[in-house]
Structure 1
Amino acid sequence: MAQKANRDNHFYADVQIFGEYPKHVLNYFEENGFQIAWTDEDLQLLKDYTVDFLSFSYYMSMVVSKNAAQREKVGGNLMTGVKNPYLNTSEWGWQVDPVGLRISLIDLYDTYRIPLFVVENGIGSTDMLTADGTVEDDYRIAYFRDHFEQMNLAIKDGVELMGYTSWGCIDIVSASTSQMTKRYGFIYVDADDLGNGTYNRFKKKSFHWYKDVIETNGASLYTELQPATK
């Protein structure tokens, strides 16, 4: 089951990187009577215009189970899966798994052998603005620190990781829940779920931390903080 789930996840990248549909997908189309109206020119275009690097989002990991009794569902951004009882979760039930990012990086690089780019990664949480106009979001710092450390280990394992961007730099309405109070940013925006507020912006503690990470090229990462369990 895990192998099938991984093959399904790789489907889109397979087409864009290898320039053709994988055989197991073609078999699935045939077995289910799907008739794709493509031409030889379409197939040649796929071969001629493959991508130079692979970008992907990573927020959490999920597992699969053949045992229906063990299939406690866990939510996610666009996908749902089976809960892993060994992982902590965010307030919205997203499983926090930094090691899973390293595993994903190694798996993708070993499969495709092209540079990788993490284009979304972050944690949504309820942030409280303090009287002095900041947010003490050590939980967010811990989340990013743990994921950055695993990315560094993946690079040492031979992965060609060309870049990283977080989700996101500033609080915006969450696409998955339509909530403003599910906050991801390094900058706090004074607005609630109904659009009320001044919309003034305040730098969170994580803003200054992330700035230091960038300026020191990661040397500031290894400060002891609490695990990311919120």
Structure 2
Amino acid sequence: MNLVKTYGGWKNRQLIAFFERYARVVLTRYADKVKYWMTFNEINSALHFPVMSQGLVASNGGNEMQNRYQAWHNQFVAGAKAVAIAHQLRSDLQIGCMLLYATTYAYDANPENQLAALKENQAMNHFCGDVQVRGEYPLYTESLMNHYGFSFKDLDTKPEDFKVLAANPVDYIGFSYYMSTAVNVTDKRLATANGNLVGGVKNPFLEASDWGWQIDPAGLRIALNELANRYNKPVFVVENGLGAKDVPDANHFVQDDYRINYLRAHIEAIRGAIADGVPVMGYTPWGCIDLVSASTGQMSKRYGFIYVDLDDEGHGTMKRYKKASFDWYKQVIASNGEQL
């Protein structure tokens, strides 16, 4: 909060030095215990939600896209410096980036929608990864910025920034995956998928969650293939899960077969990607216990294997109860995904 109030969030270059110091302290302390790290959670989500990853709101310039790209640049440099620190400490430390990834389709074969899907992929799914994994800005950078009325030269950069980026790319790609999206610019009559975090239109081939997020296990297999083959580095699914309305019975038990089915289908998609040759490092679902949903601020949007007796108003005993998915996922872990 102090970084937001005093310094204006990540659009301020001073945060690079702050983060470098923070990373050095934490990495030095835990280098012997923790081998896998990630720098900024869902860094690309700032395209739509800059408050969550950049500390930018309307009052400190969050509505101006130039500030978001400036904040990204500062984060890219800070993250690269963290990579350098880690590799200096131990050769076996691995630092990854972390993306919010939504596999993006054109709604149909209309070339205008195909082009729009390409542009959406560049802006949302690829830009932050391209810089952090490749160590340089992609060719389409100026096009992205021109779309919002500014140029790359308008950003506050220093020559040494680009040397740091080039010398310290991340070791792997971590990402969250909850849904896919479909892009349409040709038919204004199509219904929008309001539940989707990144917008788009409803995909007629997919079912949706209680909150309108389109469920697409095949999209995860596509995402794994796209990322691994784009960057030729290992990939790690670090978030995947189903937010649902859980109704416990008289014994506080939730028979959440819908959650089991969702996770099973996505783990099977990962198995398919591995068969495709994708180097998948791991899979961690969101999440193990019910908590307030970041996307809606609701307790009633539940993801966990453990039910917490608490409602959206904060009323309840806060006691915890295993759902059906608890023992199911315990078996999945024990068998390394063989028993689904």
Q: TM-score, normalised by structure 2?
A: 0.63
Where does residue 203 of structure 1 map in the other structure? 322
Equivalents in 2 of 1:195, 1:30: separation in Å? 45
CA displacement at 1:68 relative to structure 2: 3.1
- CA shift, 1:30, in A, is 5.6
Task: Identify the residue that residue 20 of structure 1 maps to in structure 2.
Answer: 136
Partner AA of 2:272 in structure 1: L
**One-letter amino acid of the counterpart of residue 217, structure 1:** N
Runs of 4+ in 1 over 6 A off after TM superposition: none
**Alpha-carbon deviation of 1:70?**
4.5
Matched, 1:134 2:250: no
State the shift of 1:82 in Å.
1.5
Counterpart of 2:282 in 1: which secondary structure?
A: strand
1:63–1:77 Cα change, 3 Å: closer
Deviations 1:80-122 (A, max 9, x none): 2211011000111110000000011101111001010111110
CA distance in 2 between partners of 1:197 and 1:4 (Å): 46
Which amino acid in structure 2 is aligned with residue 188 of structure 1?
Y
| Residues 13-22 or 69-78, more deviating | 69-78
Alignment correspondent of 1:4: 119
Give the aligned residue type for 2:274.
I
3-state SS of 2:140 partner: helix
Amino acid at match of 1:81: G
Question: Contact (CA 8 Å) 1:77, 1:176: kept in 2 or not?
Answer: no
In structure 2, distance between residues paired with 1:188 and 1:155? 32
Q: 1:197 to 1:213 in 2, by over 3 A?
A: same
Matched-pair identity in %: 52
Which residue among 262, 279, 283 is the counterpart of 1:164?
283
3-state SS, counterpart of residue 56 of structure 1: strand
TM-score with structure 1 length normalisation? 0.92
**Partner residue in 1 for 2:180:** 61
Q: Distance in 1 between matches of 2:255 and 2:229?
A: 39
Show structure 2 runs of 5+ residues with no match. Answer: 1-115
Is the partner of 1:119 in helix, strand or coil?
strand
Counterpart Cα distance in 1 of 2:315 and 2:139: 52
**Aligned counterpart in structure 2 of residue 191 of structure 1, from 310, 314, 317:** 310
1:171/1:189 contact within 8 Å kept: yes
Q: Where does 1:109-188 land on structure 2 (aligned, <5 Å)?
A: 109-188=228-307
Q: The residue matched to 1:54 in structure 2 has which SS?
A: strand
The verdict on how the C-alpha distance between 1:70 and 1:54 changes in structure 2, with shifts beyond 3 A counting, is farther
Query: In the aligned structure 1, how far is the partner of 2:334 from the partner of 2:298?
Result: 32
Counterpart Cα distance in 2 of 1:118 and 1:20: 24
2:150 paired residue number: 33
Structure with higher helix content: 2
Equivalents in 2 of 1:136, 1:198: separation in Å? 20
Deviation at 1:187, TM superposition (A): 0.3
Number of corresponding residues: 221
Q: Unmatched 5+ residue regions in structure 1?
A: 222-230
1:66 is matched by which residue type in structure 2? V
> Judging changes above 3 Å, is the alpha-carbon distance between structure 1 residues 4 and 38 closer, same or farther for their aligned structure 2 residues?
same
User: CA-to-partner distance for each residue in 1:162-187, whole Å, 9 max, x for gaps?
Assistant: 01111111000111111101100000
- Please tell me the residue identity of whatever aligns with 1:60: M
CA deviation map 1:17-62 (0-9, x unaligned): 0111111113443673331121110111111111000011100000
In the TM superposition, residue 76 of structure 1 has moved relative to its aligned partner by 4.5
